[in-house]
Structure 1
Amino acid sequence: MSGFAKRYSFRSGKVHDESCKFYNGAPLAIAACCILICLGIGLIIGFETDRGGGQVRPWQQVRLPESLLPIHYDVELRVDVTAFTVVGQVNVTLRCATPTRYVILHSAELDIVDGDAAPGIRGEGDVVTTLRVTSWFLYTENQYLVLELDSELTKGAVYTVSLNFRGTLRDGLVGFYRSSYVNKDGQTRYLATTHMQPMGARLAFPCFDEPAFKATFTVTLVHRAGYTALANMPLENNVTRNDGWIADRFQRSVRMSTYLLAFVVSDFTSVSTVSSSGLQTRLWARPQYISAGMGDYALDVADKIVAYYEEYFDVPFPLPKMDHISIPDFAMGAMENWGLITYTENLLLYDTRSPSASKKRDTARAVAHELAHQWFGNLVTMEWWDGTWLNEGFASYVEYLGYGYVEPDLNVMEQFAYSRTQGVMKDDSLTSSHPIFQPVIHPNETRAIFDSITYSKGASILRMLGNFLGESTFRKGLKAYLERNAYSNAVQDELWEELTLAARADGQTDLDVKTVMDTWTLQMGYPVVSLTRDYGRGTAQATQQYFLLDPTASTSAPSDFGYRWHIPLTFITRGNSFDQPEQVWMRPDQDTSSVNLQGAGSDDWVLANIHRVGYYRVNYDQTNWQLLIDHLNSDLYEDIPPDNRGTLVDDAFNLGRAGQLDLSTALDLTRYLVRERHFIPWSMAKAAMDYVVTVFGSVRDIYDNWQAHMVQLIGPFYNEVGWTPQQSDYNTEAGQVLAISTACTYGQTGCVNNATALFRQWMDTNNNSHIPETFKSTIYCTAIRYGGSREWDFAWQRYLEAEPSEQSLLLSAMACSRDTVILSRYLERSTDAALVRRQSAPDVISYVGGSDVGKSLAWNFLVDNWDFYVENYDETQFTMASIVLSVTKQFSTQEDLDNLEQFLTKHPNQGTATRAFSHAVDSTRANLRFRQDNESKIRAWLERLA
């Protein structure tokens, strides 16, 4: 009976359909008999839930049962990187927590081998009972492999399950998949690589693929000669088998989650170093990139940052080696696999022959982020995916400390408000946002949580937490948390507990971290703090209010805190030190808080949220706004730090968008930029001010006047920095790049002429060595925007021949064309993997959709090719959401809103883009409302300038 059932039903997970389908059209008596047989089989094996409402079988639960706990995996994979096949075997040692007759593991897109190599189980140690797998099946709905046993497993006993399977090196970008590149001899070379997060390990081998099911792993990779195998741990031994294949067996791993596993089989080469503590660090890439020295900078950075983190956390790095490898086809920027971090080539490799301080910064930040995860995420892992924010938010914060350590001249924390906080505050000010801690009920919801709220809001509130605790207290709590939960899993309350104990040990006896942080993690959004001064008494009243960009919007999402927060309000008055601001606590149960302004006179400005460490906006009474504007327009404007100068513009613009501040105040504030020379306030101001182009880019008279206003503001900065590369430090270089980019973007005649001339010289000579690396993005985009088919076709040919970093620049620049025919052709080509790598196709539609010319083209292309994008990118974090958000960013008309709503009606299931579409609808409504309310105001203000 079990053999019949196994053959006809268990692999498909459809016992009734598969067993009976060949009786279709048979005589009634035979058909009836068959049905009875099938029903009997279903009862005997206990396959499905009783359709009348009976017991739910364990494999019908979307989460793994906790009856069995993995202890160790012994995995062998025979990998053929040219035939794209994998033949594997896994022995899983597990402990029985509660008696059960079923062994349930995750398995997806794998063929489980039957016959003599069928699944088996044996007892270990004192367990001598003979066990037999009576039947097995794949329950594809939950990606389970289910083994039924002839008797129950004994509580506390240890068993080993043996499975043989076959798989394919997929052509996607998740699980165990293939990548390729063309070497210097023009040959296509293939490699096998992995991306397991969040649920990709089950695509590589059957396993308990949830983060709490930690175990140790021994991995053996069998491959042909001429290839090198890498895994999380160092190589233990190397054996050439009788058939000539090479078996690389790696050391037993530390206890870890399946999503942190990594394997690579390639012909890459490496550079390496050994730290003073004996840690070997290697960087792997295509042989020609290693020989060109393109791995040297990242290797040096990685070695230094590991040493820094060991000192910062006061917890040693737990592995004997650390590999970093660049992958030609990779969906994410990087992935923190324990001991074997994978990156996109453009992010990890740095070519010293084309120096760029911004490229060095990006590489250092990426390495610092992934290395931070080796402690926070790998050593201590979230219990379930609803804790992802803590892993990613923490790494997104600590990366600044790491790369600031290796590049001390950058003053990196000054960049935090711009690069992390500013953007996510816009996302978090819509009713379609979500709490940073969000329940994940179904595993399929996991991919949607890798968004800006998880990363950037997480980083921002952890920075705020570290600031009000104090660095020494913060580090003391982190050390205790890491040591207590090492090689295990934890939830956020366990971190709050350790930080509270550290705070109380350091004298902050009235601080309960959980009470404060729950208001920031368990409800979405953030407050705006309004300071209303009493100029006679030198005091102010502070109130808090939930900030929404659309003042007509209201949220239906409940909050246990009523959308009120514990706020560490920092402030200074004119003449006081920004290094030692005053702080007062605002509580959710207080309507107003009294603030002593430390003797500020009626002519002195007050500034709150120093260095924008707090995750909130600040509004002032009109008099204080004017005092700040007057100061910024004076020669003393640099008394206010760069990040706070940028924050003032950003807060004012967004308060104006929300109807909480007269828009003319925000616009008046921008006029000070004519004297600004620092890239941080300029970057923050430009990001806020670009909203005018987003909403009014197609309104000719407003855009023309706004363009003239921007050219007038950037002109002195642009003329001062010129076109001779300034590479003395990142801040100087970034300022020059911003000035040139802004001038060219807004059509400053000299900038456009110079950029197009440099590009034309490249076309004439087929050599771009005269174009500085730092200016390439601006020059390429400007020349293509003001050019035609000849410029675009030239860029396309160079793209096909270029190295990854150059390809990345050209990919973005080609979307700058204003020719709709060219852009449509570009979109079509982007879906051909032979022309544009699979990982880059989403970038193309995002770039095209980012302009007023391309938004409709990109939207229509997305609608027409929706199935293509879902099929190829719905499994990867970020991707679908980023496509939708980029393509709809410019939406600001009733037609745009109608298009969105019509699409959602026709496509009720948007997969991992569901939340992004909600965001797009809310954002479009807010843009439309702003356009209706403020078009005449902006037009009048600009006309007064003319």
Structure 2
Amino acid sequence: MPNKSSMSKAFAAAFAVLTISIISGIITLTILYKSEINILNPTPPPTFSPTTTAPPPDSRLPTNLVPESYEIFLQPWFHTRIIEMVNVTSPNQTMLFTGNSTVHFHCTQAARSIYLHSMDLTLSNPWVMNQDTNEQIGVSDLEQQEDVNDFLKVNLEEDLMAGGNYSLFLAFEGEVSASLEGLYECVYIEGYPKDEDDENALRFLVATNMEPTHARMLFPCFDEPAMKAEFHLTIIHRRTTSALGNTAILVSNIIDDEWKYTQFYPTPRMSTYLFAFAVSEFTSIPSSHERVEIKTYARPEATEKGHTKYAAHIAGSTLTFFEKLFEIDYTLGKLDQIALPDLASLAMENWGLITYVEGSLLFEEGVSSLLHKEDIAIIVAHELAHQWFGNLVTIKWWSDLWLKEGFATYFSFPAVDYVEPTFKMKDVFMMETLHFAFEADALTSSHPLSSRPEDVQTIDDIRQMYDSITYNKGASVLRMLADFVGENVFNNGIKMYLKAFQGITADQNDFWEYIQKADPSSAISIAKLMDPWVNQIGYPVITINTTSGEIYQKHFLFNNTAESSLWWQIPIRFMSNTSDTSMVLLDVRGPVKKEEFISKSGEWILVNVNSTGYYRVNYNPENWERLLTQLERDPQRIPPINRGQLIDDVFNLARAKLVNVTLALNFTRFLSKERAYLPWDSAVKNLEYFVIMFDRCEVYGPMQTYLQNQVKGLYNFYRNETDNSSVPHDHASQHNQITAIDVACSNGLPECIEMAKSKFSNWMRSNSTNNIHPNLRSMIYCHAVAAGGKEEWEFAWDKYQSSRDTSEREYLQYAMSCTKKIWLLNRYLKYTLDSEKIRFRDVASTISFIAMNAAGQALAWNFIRAHWGTLSRGDESTMIMAVTNRFSTQFELEELERFASDHKVSSVKQAIEQTQVNIEWVRENKDIVLRWFEQETKKSNGFSSSD
């Protein structure tokens, strides 16, 4: 990239004049552009104060200024392709943007200064107008306050008066970001296969990513969610490109041979984090909807090959589902979806212009797994739900982030059930949300769903809210509430809540109020019921004695020695083998006697039917044994979701030392005859903890032998289809086929490893993947590379580098982390430092994949410590948790604590606590677990435990 030099300064002046022209009229803009663009005498920026004034005491913007609207003019100077070389080392590319903004605001309290946000922008030409008198107010100076909150202070020569209406103009200049924040660049390759020597194959685009606090990197603004305003946007861009914004295009005209401008309709009142645009050469296809114009954009090659068809197909029907459910039409007349080569998250719900990373939106027939449609459908539904939760009704502050993210997660499941009923996504809710939330929320380092606003002040505080608690616990708590009050009452409350707060902001108390209004006859206070679920950390475990009917609750923590006095009002749905489901409300800490829970004639009692409650359940030993007997004799009597939940509960109770670890392991015996997906998935995820705790010691051998024996039946159930590269019809069975392959190959089942090696070898010989079904490629690639050496790994690397298929690249990215060769893993880690080899957005996931491999965990840990300065710009939380999840020794704990003292990383605190839990658990259970697996192995070989 060339230095800004005189060219950028000249254009800064030209652009200021150009903007005045635009304000007067688009026609004048067109005329003046050519005459002004060559002016090389820019107005110098004001002198910034050499001192820094302290920010407001609460680190938030003052509320005395209320933004009403922004007029924004932007010009990104980039070229979509490299068309010439200026010199040997510098291409023609210019990753610079210039522009200006005028924010109109109302003053509620007299002030001599204007506080707003600005970050990494060169500012100039400030002026303030009194809109009521049309008089200009002098600006004495600008102070860019170098603190964690990016305050810009505009000091005035006279006061702004309460009740007055004003506007602030600022010209600005900045660089397009390379870190996927604010206005950032995307680079991709046109055509297939990739030609490494063809500079003309490179293509560039720019797009925005403003959530949570990146709008300030593009233009000076009031960058807080409650400070909603209208946005009037005009973009000047290259004639070969198209510009997309939040709203439809009002007018677009050619300026000259090089440039055109696009002006958009005003947006609804919205938060700055939802402001979005993209400038690219992408193409689109439409979706069907009776009222809204929906288009899905992607690289021309991806559009041409039909990779956007599935996302476009489901978008219209998903939007229709939400419109009918909420009884509020989608507000804008258009909705664009765009698949970007790079995005910091999987997707972003910008109002009217939803951005997705390519892998989240594109489906490639013959390459993508059929199950990838589930991922796409869930993500599309999540982002469309945000058009109501977040966009239409907005949170007051980031401390209530769950009010949009938890809601969007919850409503994505019924939406997909409507659009794709064969996916049966409501059944998957437990795996996708509940168990992930349980895992994170069982540590004292967890946080409440709703934090106190004063606890979420800095940008780092805000970023830390984007975690499993916010998304998964939020959705799980809503699911429990819906089950308790009934779906009709819940949905009616949702409709009233959305109608009452559309266009403005709300908090959780507003939501409770409208759920209460939906059932006015209820004597239960919804606010009182829900208060501990959202304002306390953690969740309860209830213990039931089915002999006496006694029940009590306590705070569930993996660290069972931690003190806690927390308690909850708990809706309990239960059944027995002789009765249907019933519900009671446990509203005391206990113990208390409940006649409903007394077992009659040796029957078993099952609590938390269909896993709708956000709590775990422990029983007296007799009831555990009755449930275990039922599973071994006739598991169908217990719903599949509860078969999975029983496994998850008993394993986690064992981790918390509330039951013996042998009881948990006993609940895996019935799996040798189990064919349902949910129980197997739950067992595999829970046994993974045993694997990562013991795969470096003598427990691992007998554990592998046992798991081989347990999975044989499941593997053979699908073997004919696997060997013939076909898959079952229903999605649950397709998931389970993959589980069978992964467990069988991971634990050394010879026929599985031979199958993977054979299919991969055939691919290497024939250069065709026709003998590997897309559903199975990720697992087969991984286990073939694990069983192979340099030749297999480098074949995978070559395919990764040359493939333009997003799904195929993801399979290969994971597969290369599976090798057991230390030197190959070390080379793969080094590749993450080279953006020519591995894209920035894939760095954290690549390192995490390597850390999941027992052979690569120590390598990854050493690597991130050596390169933390570079790697910390990515998803640091994902990397930290991945590289430390095996830590179970005092030495590893001390290393982690040293790292924590050197680097202030929020996720390290959680990792330290988990390591402490692991150390204690391994110390107490290693010998017991070893004996159990050895005894089970003897039984499978025909020996009794007494032999």
Q: Do both proteins adopt the same fold according to a TM-score greater than 0.5, normalized to the shorter chain?
A: yes
Q: Is the 8 A contact 2:288 2:313 kept in 1?
A: no
Query: For 1:27-86, what per-residue CA distance to the aligned partner results, in whole angstroms no more than 9, with x for missing partners?
Result: xxxxxxxxxxxxxx99x989655xxxxxx664x752111111110011111112231111
Q: Does 1:711 align with 2:705?
A: no
Shift in Å, 1:886? 1.0
Specify the alignment match of 2:501 in structure 1: 485
Separation (CA, whole Å) in 1 of partners of 2:931 and 2:127? 79
What letter corresponds to residue 854 of structure 1 in structure 2? G
What letter corresponds to residue 179 of structure 2 in structure 1? G
Q: Is the 8 A contact 1:584 1:595 kept in 2?
A: no
Separation (CA, whole Å) in 2 of partners of 1:626 and 1:517? 34
Query: For 1:575-620, what per-residue CA distance to the aligned partner results, in whole angstroms no more than 9, with x for missing partners?
Result: 434xxx21111114543251414x8532211100011110111011
Specify the alignment match of 1:324 in structure 2: 337
Q: Does 1:906 align with 2:908?
A: no
Separation (CA, whole Å) in 1 of partners of 2:767 and 2:368? 21
Separation (CA, whole Å) in 2 of partners of 1:295 and 1:593? 58
Selected match of 1:463 from 479, 495, 512:
479
Q: Secondary structure at the match of 1:498?
A: helix
Shift in Å, 1:204? 0.9
Q: Does 1:623 align with 2:622?
A: yes
What TM-score, normalized by structure 2, do the two folds share? Answer: 0.89
Q: Is the 8 A contact 1:431 1:554 kept in 2?
A: no
What letter corresponds to residue 273 of structure 1 in structure 2? S
Specify the alignment match of 2:746 in structure 1: 745
Separation (CA, whole Å) in 2 of partners of 1:851 and 1:242? 56
Specify the alignment match of 1:349 in structure 2: 362
Q: Is the 8 A contact 1:127 1:158 kept in 2?
A: no
Query: For 1:535-556, what per-residue CA distance to the aligned partner results, in whole angstroms no more than 9, with x for missing partners?
Result: xxxx62211011111223346x
Specify the alignment match of 2:759 in structure 1: 758
Specify the alignment match of 2:303 in structure 1: 290
What letter corresponds to residue 670 of structure 2 in structure 1? Y
Separation (CA, whole Å) in 2 of partners of 1:469 and 1:318? 29
Q: CA separation of 1:46/1:353 partners in 2, compared to 1, >3 Å: closer, same or farther?
A: closer
Q: Does 1:65 align with 2:62?
A: yes
Deviates more, 1:456-465 or 1:411-420: 411-420
Specify the alignment match of 2:405 in structure 1: 392
Q: Within 5 A, what are the aligned runs for 1:244-643? A: 244-276=258-290, 278-354=291-367, 356-439=369-452, 440-504=456-520, 507-508=521-522, 510-534=523-547, 540-554=549-563, 562-577=565-580, 581-597=581-597, 600-634=599-633, 636-643=634-641
Separation (CA, whole Å) in 1 of partners of 2:589 and 2:894? 41
Specify the alignment match of 1:36 in structure 2: none
Q: Is the 8 A contact 1:430 1:550 kept in 2?
A: yes
Query: For 1:91-116, what per-residue CA distance to the aligned partner results, in whole angstroms no more than 9, with x for missing partners?
Result: 11111111111122211111112xxx
Separation (CA, whole Å) in 2 of partners of 1:797 and 1:438? 47
Query: For 1:229-254, what per-residue CA distance to the aligned partner results, in whole angstroms no more than 9, with x for missing partners?
Result: 00100011002124641100010000
Query: For 1:707-751, what per-residue CA distance to the aligned partner results, in whole angstroms no more than 9, with x for missing partners?
Result: 111111111111011114224121121121111121111111000
Separation (CA, whole Å) in 1 of partners of 2:760 and 2:293? 44
Specify the alignment match of 2:143 in structure 1: 137
The alignment's C-alpha RMSD in Å is 1.7
Query: For 1:805-836, what per-residue CA distance to the aligned partner results, in whole angstroms no more than 9, with x for missing partners?
Result: 11111111111111111111110011110100
Separation (CA, whole Å) in 2 of partners of 1:589 and 1:927? 29
Shift in Å, 1:140? 2.5
Shift in Å, 1:340? 0.6
Specify the alignment match of 1:845 in structure 2: 847
Specify the alignment match of 2:908 in structure 1: 917
Q: Is the 8 A contact 2:52 2:143 kept in 1?
A: no
Q: Secondary structure at the match of 1:747?
A: coil
Specify the alignment match of 2:926 in structure 1: 935
Query: For 1:911-931, what per-residue CA distance to the aligned partner results, in whole angstroms no more than 9, with x for missing partners?
Result: xxx1x1111111111111111
Q: Does 1:868 align with 2:857?
A: no
Q: Secondary structure at the match of 2:518?
A: helix
Shift in Å, 1:257? 0.1
Separation (CA, whole Å) in 2 of partners of 1:444 and 1:65? 20
Q: Is the 8 A contact 2:572 2:586 kept in 1?
A: yes
Q: Does 1:204 align with 2:218?
A: yes
Q: Is the 8 A contact 1:134 1:148 kept in 2?
A: yes
Separation (CA, whole Å) in 1 of partners of 2:507 and 2:888? 41
Q: Secondary structure at the match of 1:205?
A: coil
The runs of 4+ residues in structure 1 deviating greater than 4 Å are: 44-49
Separation (CA, whole Å) in 2 of partners of 1:280 and 1:274? 8
Shift in Å, 1:800? 0.4
Q: CA separation of 1:595/1:697 partners in 2, compared to 1, >3 Å: closer, same or farther?
A: farther
Q: Is the 8 A contact 1:542 1:595 kept in 2?
A: no
Deviates more, 1:712-721 or 1:582-591: 582-591
Separation (CA, whole Å) in 2 of partners of 1:130 and 1:173? 38
Query: For 1:426-470, what per-residue CA distance to the aligned partner results, in whole angstroms no more than 9, with x for missing partners?
Result: 221111111111231333310111011111111111110111011
What letter corresponds to residue 137 of structure 1 in structure 2? E
Separation (CA, whole Å) in 2 of partners of 1:593 and 1:64? 53
Separation (CA, whole Å) in 1 of partners of 2:288 and 2:797? 42
Specify the alignment match of 2:171 in structure 1: 164
Q: Within 5 A, what are the aligned runs for 1:770-849? A: 770-802=771-803, 803-849=805-851
What letter corresponds to residue 884 of structure 1 in structure 2? I
Separation (CA, whole Å) in 2 of partners of 1:420 and 1:866? 30
Shift in Å, 1:145? 2.2
Selected match of 1:97 from 92, 104, 108:
108
Q: Secondary structure at the match of 1:853?
A: coil
Q: Secondary structure at the match of 1:119?
A: strand
Q: Is the 8 A contact 1:574 1:600 kept in 2?
A: no
Query: For 1:186-223, what per-residue CA distance to the aligned partner results, in whole angstroms no more than 9, with x for missing partners?
Result: 51000001110000100111111000100000111110
Shift in Å, 1:799? 0.5
Shift in Å, 1:356? 2.8
Q: Secondary structure at the match of 2:373?
A: helix
Deviates more, 1:610-619 or 1:893-902: 893-902
What letter corresponds to residue 236 of structure 2 in structure 1? V
Q: Secondary structure at the match of 1:827?
A: helix
Separation (CA, whole Å) in 1 of partners of 2:257 and 2:102? 23
Query: For 1:506-562, what per-residue CA distance to the aligned partner results, in whole angstroms no more than 9, with x for missing partners?
Result: x32x1111101111111111111111012xxxx62211011111223346xxxxxx3
- Percent identity between the two aligned chains: 35
What letter corresponds to residue 935 of structure 2 in structure 1? R
Q: List runs of 5+ in structure 1 lacking aligned partners.
A: 1-40, 50-55, 556-561, 874-878
Give the paired residue count: 862
Q: Secondary structure at the match of 2:745?
A: helix
Separation (CA, whole Å) in 1 of partners of 2:908 and 2:205? 36
Q: List runs of 5+ in structure 2 lacking aligned partners.
A: 1-45, 80-93, 196-200, 939-947
What letter corresponds to residue 329 of structure 2 in structure 1? P
Separation (CA, whole Å) in 2 of partners of 1:703 and 1:717? 21
Shift in Å, 1:766? 1.9
Separation (CA, whole Å) in 1 of partners of 2:294 and 2:706? 51
Q: Is the 8 A contact 2:186 2:342 kept in 1?
A: yes
Separation (CA, whole Å) in 1 of partners of 2:758 and 2:570? 53
Separation (CA, whole Å) in 1 of partners of 2:892 and 2:430? 31
Separation (CA, whole Å) in 1 of partners of 2:115 and 2:255? 33
Specify the alignment match of 1:240 in structure 2: 254
Q: Is the 8 A contact 2:302 2:308 kept in 1?
A: yes
Shift in Å, 1:274? 4.0
Query: For 1:254-295, what per-residue CA distance to the aligned partner results, in whole angstroms no more than 9, with x for missing partners?
Result: 00000011110000000013412x101110000011011111
Separation (CA, whole Å) in 2 of partners of 1:471 and 1:99? 49
Shift in Å, 1:414? 1.1
Q: Is the 8 A contact 1:357 1:727 kept in 2?
A: no
Q: Secondary structure at the match of 2:579?
A: coil
